Amino acid sequence: MKYMTDKLKVTGLDGVIAGETAISTLNNGLHYRGYAIEELARDATFTEVAYLLLHGELPTEESLADFRAILAESDEVPDAVIQLLHELPLHIAPIDVLRTSISALGHFDLQANENDVIANLGKAIRLLSHIPVLIAARYRLTRGLELVEPDSELSFAGNFLSLLHGRLPSARDERALERTLICYADHEFNASTFTARIVASTGSDLQSAVTAAVGALKGALHGGAIENVWEEIQQVQSPSDAERFVRDAISKKRRIAGFGHRVYRDCPDPRAELLKEVSQELATTDEQQQLEEIADVIEAAMWQHKQLRPNVDWPTARIYHSLGFDAELFTPLFAAARVIGWSAHFIEQQSANRLIQPRSNYVGAMPRPFVPLHDRG
């Protein structure tokens, strides 16, 4: 069968303005609701940032306490969903398990089919609270470990680390994860967020939109890229091999994951610069310090030979490794942060909605007469 792909011009909507948002912007650096990512990552907690993205303003001490209390009250995942985590085949990737379990959660949410702002805020908070429990429960179940109860006394990041590792985290590790979550919380109309907004525009529910967004995030050209970053850097045995690794990839016209970005072409990714500092702070063992040296050589070589800078996934893969996460958890961790951005965009889309339905430029066959089956050669 012949496909007319030779005529197709694929643009990926590169640079096309597809709508308006008051949630985040990449103009003059990354800002959430007007606040620079550098200030948020340095001085705010992830819970404050989640409140900001959902409500439009930073919380007061009282409103933050209320928000944390609601999160703590919302962390109980239905037993049937935990049982589903038991029953899904072991070979299923954690990001696929997360997608399926988020969809299943919708069946147990009493407000699942309510689409007013108050209901959607409640659903967003429950998803934010449930996702770390789902990720950690599946991880521990597949390793024969007992599940850990959420601890409302801990921060969001601290609780997440406790759920996964079964022990209280150090303040250093807690803050490192906090900063990655803040950096991944939102990023304007990225592929998964735009997917969520398309679903929102149809009048569908939040769980459906987030399920679709996770499906988009999984792809290797989006959130799945972070797992590829770790695979890349593991191939380099020492800093002295790093330059050769880059040259070899270039000669074979092979893309190195973690470099280049659709938007950050003429400037650095501010999240990559922030998280490089975090990765360096975590590098206390010989292995971790060597990884930092390898990363530095690869960065320099990629700029020298390709004029490509690292994106956010490049340092984050090393951070997650230093925090004791298996590579298969990297993309689910991305989702745990981005769910708050997806939810904020879902609510914004439905607040002033119009169905998102673009047109295409048809380049196929021109009109032609139908030939009956018996007359076709």
As annotated, the active-site residues are: 261, 313
Place of tokens 């990714």: 269
Which pairs count as long-range contacts for 249-255, CB under 8 Å and 24+ apart, including other chains?
250/305, 250/306
CA-to-CA distance for 334 and 185, rounded, in angstroms? Answer: 8
Q: Which of 92, 37, 95 is nearest to 223 (CA)?
A: 95
Rounded distance, CA 340 to CA 29, Å?
Answer: 20
d(CA 29, CA 41): 13
- ∠271-13-259 over CA atoms, to 5°? 35
Q: Are 79 and 211 in contact (CB under 8 A)?
A: no
At 249, list the tokens. Answer: 């990839």
Residue pair 187/156 in contact by the 8 Å Cβ criterion: no
Calculate the CA dihedral of residues 265, 267, 269, 270 and round it to 10 degrees: -160
* Strand ranges (E), the chain: 24-25, 31-32, 35-36
φ, ψ for residue 35, nearest 5 deg: -95, 130
Tell me if 238 sits within 8 A of 155, measured CB to CB: no
Q: How many CB atoms within 10 Å of residue 191?
A: 18
Q: Which pair of structure tokens corresponds to residue 114?
A: 């309510």
Q: What angle do CA 110, 112, 118 make, to 5 degrees?
A: 90
